[in-house]
Chain A
Amino acid sequence: MPTTSLTEALFPRSRSAVLSALTTAGDEGLHLREVARRTGLNSKTVMRELHALRDAGILVSRDVGRQVVYRMNPDCPIVDELRSIIRKTVGLAGVLQAALEPFAERIVQAYVYGSHARGEERVDSDVDLMMVGPVSLRELSSSLREAGRSLRRTISPTLYTAEAYKKELKARDSFVSRVHHGPRLDLVGGA
């Protein structure tokens, strides 16, 4: 997927992995070991990245018992833009695009809608995923559940055939029409 190379061009892989883990974790934040576990990076690399991002004001840290918990700094002037870049690349969109990749030829459109697309997700928000094409939820479920485990989110899929989607799109104030024309995080297609 081209979006991965976009991120690789902007950040070293370890930095984008740490940012992805922290944007997905939300306001609760994560301690070093948890970041290492989620990213698969060694503790030394994670510590170097966390310190660099904190020194730049992108992260803030606080002591919780004997651990230091890091989270995105809400007062950082580019935090929203950064979240958006990560969400569209290695974060949510990257994970979901990878999960859908084996079915790419049959999915004509896929996007995230709801709180994640609006950038208003909470720690426990699920991921609303729309998919259009001749695929079945049964064949997609294992990949999507694996993606959900990776994101620590429940993925709530909605699946339409292309014909049914187009029909619903034309109906005024239908569910499909509302989400199609609302905030979307496009994964496949995008018309």
Chain B
Amino acid sequence: MSLEELLFRDEIAREALGAGEIDRLLATVDRRLEDASLASLHPETRLEQAYHAILGCAVIGLRAHGLRAVDRPGHHVVALESLADTVGVKPDRIDYFQTLRDLRNKDIYTGSSHVSDTQALEAVEEARRLVAEIKDWLRKRKTRS
């Protein structure tokens, strides 16, 4: 769904970007990524931290456009979906991020999720890749403006 459609459906709203806001959000994303990289943590925890780093990137993409996901059920889905239009992330990667969201929710709400080391490592790598892309994207936007 495009940003215009999301705005029309009140899934996202316009909100002016505050001073230093992107830097604060980036610091949070870096912290999540750092935690996700800790091999001593359980794979479920690593996946959750990687997911939060990815979600943080989606929030940054929206905020950089002066937008914010409206706080209501499904706002994580919306934020992840918006990555296609804000940063140009391909649909198959967004599907993967949504799968991480499902796994993270299952762990939180049912306690019956099982995440292997393979899945946790992949999530960390994918999060690291997206964080690097977001930083590069922000740099390019800054250069252009």
Contact = CB atoms under 8 A, between A and B. Distances in A.
B122 interface: yes
Contact of A156 (B92, B106, B122): B106
A42 interface: no
B106 A141 contact: no
Contact of B96 (A137, A154, A155, A156): A137
Instruction: Summarize A's interface: helix, strand, loop or mixed.
Output: mixed
A141 B91 CA distance: 10
A138 B92 contact: yes
B122 A137 contact: yes
Interface residues of A, number: 20
Q: Which of A139, A142, A164, A175 has the most CB of B within 10 A?
A: A142
Interface in B70-115: 91-93, 95-96, 98-99, 102-103, 106, 112-115
Interface residues of B, number: 20
Contact of A137 (B99, B106, B112, B113): B99
Contact of A161 (B96, B103, B118): B118
Instruction: Summarize B's interface: helix, strand, loop or mixed.
Output: helix
B10 interface: no
Given A138-B92, A141-B98, A159-B122, 9 more contacts: A137-B96, A141-B96, A142-B91, A142-B92, A156-B102, A158-B116, A159-B116, A164-B116, A175-B114
A164 B99 contact: no
Q: What are the nearest 7 A-B pairs in CB distance?
A: A141-B96, A138-B96, A141-B95, A142-B95, A141-B99, A142-B92, A160-B116
